[in-house]
Amino acid sequence: MALQRLSIKNYLLVENLEVEFHPGFNVITGETGAGKSLIIGSLNIALGEKIDWDLMGEKEAEITAVFSLSEEEKNILKENNIEVNDEMIVRRVLNPQTKKSKIYINMTPVTQSFLKEITAHLIDLHGQHQHQSLLDPQKHIDYLDGFAGILKEREKMEELYDALLDAKERLENLRKRQREAQEKEEFYRFKLEELERANLKEGEEEELEERLRILSNIEKLQSNVTASAFELYESEDSAYEKIFRAIRNLQELTGIDAKLIEGVNTLHDLADKLQEIWRFLMEYKNSLVLNPEELEELRSRLTFLKNLKQKYRKTIEELIEEKEFLKKELSQIENYDKEIEALTEEIADLEREVKKQAEILHESRVKAAPELERLIEEELKDLAMERAKFKVNILEKEISHLGKDSVEFYISTNPGEDPKPLSKIVSGGELSRIMLAIKRVLADLVNVPTMVFDEADTGIGGKVAEKVGRKMKEISQKRQVIAITHLPQIAAFGEKHFIVEKTVEGDKTRIKIRELNEQERVREIARMLSGEKITEESLQYAEKFLKSIRG
């Protein structure tokens, strides 16, 4: 992924500015105060940095950065439900009235934290401001491991360490559950014995209530069933007798009209059904036997179940489930010791593996550090820092997912001076060269597609500046480089040359940027070499200078 385009509208002195970058080496020049730093400031805002609202005017501003997409970035966007195509368009709208900004990625609104997260590894900006990732000591171990070629070994370390943490967490939880279970064991056993004695069955309560209802109303049931049987079948004027009288009356008429046979047959079926009903009622009546002992047992059992439910505040079905749970828990208590023993052995094995892997990483780091130091010192010599000493400081610490080492880059720029942390270097010229040397050596390991150098040439000139430009050019062979510079020795190496200009239109000052053609480029190099007064002689010199730089 590389920065393809940056557009700025109504931001500070910019009314409408757009620049398209080359995938290789881009240089941006311009007179002091022309507004070159505003370009980088706008880019920082597009990357999610904070906004200084006090500098804003009254108009709403808009900054848009367009990046080409890698497959990894496409996947991140897909995972966050953001539309995916061949570009990632980051648009940030700034409202100075509300002092708030709206952020969009491919037209989808996102938060500032998400913007910073997704753009964090897009651009490495070296200069006077943010994104100086190589100054972050937390990143140094990543660079050393990448240089040593042990990233896969470190992945294994991370997996082992995570597995160890997981096993320890499982052991802690297991011991906690064991303590809790042991504290409740006596109560669990008492409760289980009570529930087993209760001999609970699903649906039992409903069955008991139904049986009690029948026995409590047995006299009424017997009376009504007897009366119904009498009316249906037993009395002289029963329904059964009436049906047979109807049958006899109709049978006499079937000889006259055969259609009535169907009616006679239906009445015979009805008579049979009445007989079946009568037999059913007789059997039911005979089953209605009042047993005082059974009635008492029913009432006693229902009272017991009611009290049990009230005691535990659960239904019968829930108490049956509780009984199974208690059985499982009591069985588990007996197995806790075995599980804890097995897990303790697993943790001991993992600790041995973690220590072994940490030692492998340590040895590899210690072995690779001198070579990294040597290569960076060679780069520093090319940048006129012949006596600089670069040190990879490796200290052993408590084991973590990165192993047992902490790594920080140290440097000494003067003979007899003790090395100091890289982050403590204060000289602009030294810092520029140190950072460039490190980036040159670690260019393949710093996984950012775009490197921006914001006046990283501070405090250097002459042959050193030419070497700096050449190294930036070398870096641009593998990743995009954007350099804001005031040195012709650096600008001459650019594949695309832009100039930032400040113009006055009426009573308004405006900043613009444009790409230079070859003739304009010669003129700009002449200005940078000789100052504002450009002569024919300086133009010829600039042309020769460009040719000599390009080889």
Name the domain count of the chain.
2
Question: Could you read off the pLDDT of 485-529 as tens digits, one per residue?
Answer: 888 989 999 999 999 988 887 778 888 899 999 999 999 988 888
Residue 253, in any domain of the structure: yes
Helix, strand, coil in percent for the chain, rounding step 5: 60, 20, 25
Parallel, antiparallel, or unpaired for β 3-11 and 14-20?
antiparallel
pLDDT of residue 50: 86
pLDDT of residue 133: 61
Parallel, antiparallel, or unpaired for β 14-20 and 87-95?
unpaired
Residue 109, in any domain of the structure: yes
Residue 360, in any domain of the structure: no
Which burial class, exposed, middle or buried, applies to 259 when counting CB atoms under 10 A from its CB (0-12, 13-18, 19+)? Answer: exposed
pLDDT of residue 444: 66
280 & 189 share domain: yes
Question: Could you read off the pLDDT of 75-106 as tens digits, one per residue?
Answer: 888 888 888 888 899 999 999 888 999 999 99
Q: What is the CATH number of the domain that holds 498?
A: 3.40.50.300
Question: Could you read off the pLDDT of 104-121 as tens digits, one per residue?
Answer: 999 899 999 888 888 877
102 & 225 share domain: no
What whole-number distance in Å separates Cα of residue 511 and Cα of residue 217? Answer: 102
The residue from 331, 357, 373 where one domain ends is 331
Residue 313, in any domain of the structure: yes
pLDDT of residue 57: 78
pLDDT of residue 152: 93
114 & 186 share domain: no
191 & 318 share domain: yes
Whether the CB-CB separation of 525 and 68 falls below 8 Å is answered with: no
What whole-number distance in Å separates Cα of residue 16 and Cα of residue 263? Answer: 102
pLDDT of residue 429: 64
Residue 295, in any domain of the structure: yes
pLDDT in tens, the chain (551 residues): 689 999 999 888 888 899 999 999 999 998 877 778 788 888 889 988 888 888 887 889 999 999 988 787 788 888 888 888 888 999 999 998 889 999 999 989 999 988 888 887 788 776 544 345 667 788 899 889 989 999 999 999 999 999 999 999 999 999 998 888 788 777 888 888 888 888 888 888 888 888 878 888 888 888 888 888 788 888 878 888 888 888 888 888 888 888 888 888 888 888 889 888 888 988 888 888 777 888 788 888 888 888 888 888 888 898 889 899 888 878 777 788 888 999 999 999 999 999 999 999 999 999 999 999 999 999 888 888 888 899 999 999 999 999 999 999 999 988 888 888 887 775 666 777 787 888 888 776 667 788 888 766 666 777 888 888 888 898 888 889 998 888 898 999 999 999 998 888 777 888 889 999 999 999 998 888 887 678 888 888 888 888 887 76
Whether the CB-CB separation of 188 and 330 falls below 8 Å is answered with: yes
Select from 44, 33, 38 the least CA-distant residue to 10.
38
213 & 91 share domain: no
79 & 198 share domain: no
Sequence-ordered list of residues with C-beta below 8 angstroms from that of 224, at least 6 positions apart, any chain:
none
Residue 346, φ and ψ in degrees, nearest 5:
-60, -40
What whole-number distance in Å separates Cα of residue 439 and Cα of residue 446? Answer: 8
Residue 302, in any domain of the structure: yes
pLDDT of residue 409: 93
25 & 103 share domain: yes
Angle between helices 316-382 and 137-148 (to 10 degrees): 80
Which burial class, exposed, middle or buried, applies to 404 when counting CB atoms under 10 A from its CB (0-12, 13-18, 19+)? Answer: buried
190 & 115 share domain: no
71 & 195 share domain: no
> Among positive and negative, which fits the CA dihedral 209, 215, 221, 225?
positive
Residue 160, in any domain of the structure: no
The residue from 331, 350, 378 where one domain ends is 331
226 & 319 share domain: yes
pLDDT of residue 458: 66
pLDDT of residue 199: 87
325 & 186 share domain: yes
Residue 430, in any domain of the structure: no
The residue from 275, 302, 331 where one domain ends is 331
11 & 91 share domain: yes
Select from 425, 422, 433, 424 the least CA-distant residue to 458.
433
Name the residue range of residue 317's domain. Answer: 180-331
